[in-house]
């Protein structure tokens, strides 16, 4: 992690990558459980801040995506934190339902073992 001055400033200067995206980790505001990881472009971040509901950029669909727009499982944003080099966001959310498209609370429901994956999530 480069020491780039971004780590001391109190100016919010998110560093979008060459594709114009920043990684957003969504954690449950209740207990910090990591629910999902997605990406925001400038518009998605702006909409998230303005509406208080998480918006992302879908890389596969190449479109703006309001989380929960079809499923109803929206994510209400409590707080956004930024990391030292301002290239990653930590979004604390109150989820309206399962965050994962599989219907599970979290996208991280499998553990890596020596031989493959093992289910651990609910």
Residues in the site for its own copies, rule: CB under 8 A? Answer: 1-3, 7-12, 23, 25, 27, 31-34, 36-38, 49, 58, 60-61, 79-85, 88-90, 100-102, 104, 107-113, 116-120
Q: Pinpoint the alpha helices (H) of the chain.
A: 42-51
Q: Quote the tokens at residue 24.
A: 């957003």
Backbone CA torsion sign across 30, 32, 38, 39: positive
Shortest Cβ distance from residue 33 to its own copies (Å)? 6
- Check the annotation: does 84 bind a ligand: yes
26 annotated as ligand-binding = no
Tokens 């954690």 correspond to 27
Q: How far is the CB of 31 from its own copies (least distance, A)?
A: 7
107 annotated ligand binder: yes
Question: Which residues does 60 contact at the CB level (< 8 Å), separation at least 6?
Answer: none
Give the residue with the Cβ less far from its own copies, 34 or 96.
Answer: 34
Copy the structure tokens of residue 116.
Answer: 């493959």
């Amino acid at each position: 992690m480069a020491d780039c001055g971004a780590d001391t400033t109190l100016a919010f200067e998110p560093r979008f990558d060459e594709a114009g995206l920043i990684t957003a980790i969504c954690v449950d505001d209740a207990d910090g459980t990591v629910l999902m990881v997605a990406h925001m472009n400038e518009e998605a971040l702006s909409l998230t801040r303005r509406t208080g509901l998480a918006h992302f950029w879908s890389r596969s669909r190449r479109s703006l995506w309001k989380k929960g727009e079809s499923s109803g499982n929206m994510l209400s944003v409590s707080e956004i934190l930024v990391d030292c080099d301002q290239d990653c966001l930590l979004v604390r959310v109150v989820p309206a339902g399962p965050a994962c498209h599989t219907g599970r609370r979290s996208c991280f429901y499998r553990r890596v073992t020596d031989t493959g994956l093992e289910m651990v999530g609910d």
